[in-house]
Each structure stands twice: as structure tokens, then as C-alpha cells.
Amino acid sequence: MRPIPVLTTEELRAVESGAGAERLMIAAGRAVAEAARALAADTGQTILVIAGPGNNGGDAWVAADALLQSFHRVVVLEASATPPKAPEARDARAAFASRGGSIVREWPAASPAPALIVDGLLGIGLARDVDPPFHGIIERVNGSGAPVLAIDVPSGLDSSTGRVRGIAVRATRTLTFIAHKAGLHTLDGPDFCGVVACDDLGVGEAAAREAHGLLLTPATVTPWLAPRRRNSHKGDFGTLAVIGGNRGMVGAALLAGRAGLLAGAGRVYVALLGSDAPAVDPGQPELMLRGLEEAFTADAIVAGPGAGRSPSATSPSLFERTTLPALIARPAALVLDADALNAIAFDEGLQRALRDERKGPTLLTPHPAEAARLLGTTTARVQEDRLAAALTLAQRFHAHIVLKGSGSICAFPDGRWSVNATGNPGLATAGSGDVLAGIIGALLCQGLEARRALQYAVCAHGAAADACAARGVGPVGLTASEIALEARAVINRWCAAMA
């Protein structure tokens, strides 16, 4: 399957400028009408189309006229006293009126509720919070109880960041055009977009050439990991080391190690840092609990789960003072998670070493608060533009980044990025990030290069949570251990599909 492009607003404008605005608006409006017919098949029921003042409103006028011609009952709520800007939108409005279409300026008071609402109020150009007149319309849409088809992006949702700009339409389905947008799939986007479909309007090739981002789906990553040969041995699948698990936090390192085994590493060393470290993991006796010296010989290393932080900035822990610098100096692939990220955030020397001296592949797995510490900002600022934050981290530390959260963002030093389409709130549970780190490490051991290992792991981790929820195990109460077990099943299914 070809990668699914995701465009920034700037990239989208570049594609639009070369494609012809009139043709795109007509094609988009007709596509909306087709989608609306599928959602409201009964021509006797009313479809309420909301037309705003911009290009989204133009698409809405074209769709309304097409629906009227197919004998649907259509009412257009014209949200602005200003005539449509685009000539093709003005033509569609005139045609709709000439055919006897109903145009209103206030929310229709008639009962029952419309069979469908088509949201063409605001589009991708939204740069501020929703103005009061449109705020009231969005409130009426959300309170109507009717299914909603959003044109390109639900009104009020920032298509670049996924932020709700004061208020946003909660769509049943979003039909987006030319390519996907990051804001449909990250932060608040998944809660407001419903089912997302994309119509490339015949300019998909141009979109693919322009895009630096892609949508991370199982179909995208499945070809990256081949089925195993019968003539295999554990050495073919590498040695993973997990370093962490200080006093009271042993479980974090063990979870990462168990996930590494379940995701296919040939063997896994776990170097526990606490004085209370057990000699064996009774829940997973296949794990080899070893010292740091052996851990340093591994093919890939995960550092940080449960490592702990010194309470004093002037008296760093042994992990912070000696282990992390030594790991950064090694050429082995290095996954830095949890307390390793916190230590780096508060130590300029570690930051310099990571940025200027590190030779091997580096993968960082921050959640938003950890990303904020690394960037010297606030969690709220990171969440305001998750893509920008992830790209900044990738470039600053010359590292492969996953900024975890709703619609995890993977970002790379060359400016490429992806947004993950799998996962659900079940992942918001203690230990989930440790499991992800272990899966990443296991895939590195199996020969996937760092960029692909990161993205495959992120997608499989989310798909595991989705599979659990599909059979009633979550999202409420889903545990990290259950995610790790299901990730094994997901990876095996994906590998079997390539046989």
C-alpha cells in the first residue's frame, strides 16, 4: 500500500495553487453530495447544509445544489450576510435559489430534526477562536441530535494542530480533501472528527510529492517486518538490554523487558538499578537479570524506565552521573524513555553530548510533560502544536522522536514525520510507555532501522489496545501487561500477512 500523505496547511495551499480552485471546489462539493446521499438515503427527509463565508461554504453551496438536483429536501443556513467569495460558489448559490432551494439566515425552527447536517461553516483557514455568531451555530449543531457530515474539517477544529478553537462541531463523519491533515488525527481531532475519509480530488500525486508527513496505519507498516525463516536461531533476533528499575520502580523495567521478549527480541537483559532488585522475574523467568557491564554489550538498549531521579540537582544519581553519559557514548541503538529523558532535560552536559557527540541511532519517547522539560517550555505549549514540538525535538537532538498522546507524532531529523492512526484511551495507563519502549527496542534488535522500528512499534502498540478494546478488554481498566501480550499477537498477524 502506498503511504497516505498528511499535509500541513502550507503544503496544502501549494497543491491547491497548481490544481485550479474552480475545479477543486466543484469536485469537492460533488463529493460532499455523494457522501450526504449515502448518509441520508431518504429523499423525503431534510438535509440542513450550513454554508460559511469561505471556501468551505463554497463547497457547501455546490453540494446543496447537487443534492437538490437529486430530489433531496435541502435547506441551506447561510451563516454570513456577505455573498460567497468564489465565483463557482456564487454560481452554485444562484442555481440553488433558481431551483427553489430554501435559504435561511436563522436556525430552522421546524421539527423534527434534520436527517443530516452538512457542516460547511469554517475550514482549514481558522486562525483564532470561533467568533460569537458562529459559536451559536456550532452549539445548535452539537445539540441537534442529528448526524453531522463535516466538510474537510469540523468547524472550530484547527486542522494543523487538532486544537479546539473555543468550540468545535462534533462530526459523525469528516470528508477531507486532497490529503489528510494532522489535526484530524492528533490531540482533540479524534474526538471531534468521527470517521475520517479522504477524497484526493484527482490531485493525489501532487499531494504525495508535497507531503513531509504520512498517516501511520497497519497497512503502512506491515510490509516492513518479514516473516521469520524456519532456519532461525535466537541470535538472528538480537539482544536487547533494559536499564532502569530503581528502588520501588522495578516493575517499569520488567514491563519493558517483558514487552521486548514478547515483541520478538532474541534475548533480553534487564539491569535493575535498585538495591532491592530481585534475582529473577518470576512472571517472566526468560528475562536475564544482569549487571550494567553485560547490558552495555547489547545490540539495542532501552534506558530510563523506572530509573528514578536524584532529588538534588547538585548531587545526581549514579545513573545520571555515569550510566547515561556512557550510554550516549556507545554506538548501539539507544531508546531513551522516562527518567532518562528527565535527567537529560535538567543536565546541559547530557544535552550537548546527545546533540553533538552521539554516533549511533537515538530514539526519544517523551510524553507531553517530558517533551516540555526537554524544550524548556510548558506542557500546554507543547500540546498547542504537537507536530511543531516533535519536529523541534528531532532537530535539536538529531533523534527519532515519538511524542506520545492522542495521535502520537513521530518526527525525524530530516523534517519528515507521521501521525499514528491506531490506539484508544486504554493506552492512558501506568506502564504503557514502558511497554512501547520495549517493543521499539525489540524491533531494533530484529533489524529494522530506527525510523521504521519507531513507527512500527507505535502503530502496533496502538493496534494492540484497539484489539483489546474490540473484545471488551478496555479501554477502561486495560493494563500495560495486557497491551504487551496483545502486541505480540498483532505483530504475528502482520508478519503472517506478508507470508
Do 195 and 269 lie in a common domain? no
Number of domains in the chain: 2
Q: Label residue 271 by pLDDT band (50, 70, 90).
A: very high
Q: What CATH number is given to the structural domain containing 358? A: 3.40.1190.20
Domain that holds residue 473: 222-497
Do 207 and 226 lie in a common domain? no
Examine the fold and report which residue of 211, 240, 256 is the final residue of a domain before the chain moves on. Answer: 211
Q: Which residue has the higher pLDDT, 112 or 291?
A: 291
Do 161 and 124 lie in a common domain? yes
Do 399 and 436 lie in a common domain? yes
**CB atoms near residue 235 (< 10 Å):** 10
Q: Is the pLDDT of residue 466 over 90?
A: yes
Measured CA to CA, the distance from residue 403 to residue 409 in angstroms comes to 5
- Mean pLDDT for all residues in the chain: 95
User: Considering the domain boundaries, does residue 54 fall inside one?
Assistant: yes
Examine the fold and report which residue of 156, 182, 211 is the final residue of a domain before the chain moves on. Answer: 211
User: Considering the domain boundaries, does residue 353 fall inside one?
Assistant: yes
Do 83 and 180 lie in a common domain? yes
Q: Which grid coordinates belong to 10?
A: 502550507
Per-residue pLDDT at 276:
84
Q: Is the pLDDT of residue 313 over 70?
A: no
Q: What CATH number is given to the structural domain containing 167? A: 3.40.50.10260
Question: Which residues make beta-bridge pairs with 336?
Answer: 303, 364
User: Considering the domain boundaries, does residue 449 fall inside one?
Assistant: yes
What is the dihedral sign for C-alpha 150, 152, 158, 161? positive
Do 448 and 486 lie in a common domain? yes
Q: Please compute Rg for the chain using Cα positions.
A: 26
Per-residue pLDDT at 311:
66
User: Considering the domain boundaries, does residue 216 fall inside one?
Assistant: no
User: Considering the domain boundaries, does residue 262 fall inside one?
Assistant: yes
Examine the fold and report which residue of 211, 232, 256 is the final residue of a domain before the chain moves on. Answer: 211
Q: Is the pTM value of this prediction over 0.75?
A: yes
Do 337 and 465 lie in a common domain? yes
Contacts of 426 (CB under 8 A, 6+ apart): 465, 468, 469, 474, 475, 476, 478, 483
Do 76 and 150 lie in a common domain? yes
pLDDT digits (tens, 9 = 90+) for 62-109: 999 999 999 889 999 999 888 888 899 999 999 999 999 999 999 998
Do 188 and 245 lie in a common domain? no
Q: Is the pLDDT of residue 153 over 90?
A: yes
Q: Is the pLDDT of residue 20 over 90?
A: no
Do 141 and 273 lie in a common domain? no
Q: Are 303 and 337 in contact (CB under 8 A)?
A: yes
Per-residue pLDDT at 82:
85
Per-residue pLDDT at 314:
61
Do 292 and 386 lie in a common domain? yes
Per-residue pLDDT at 249:
95
Do 150 and 295 lie in a common domain? no
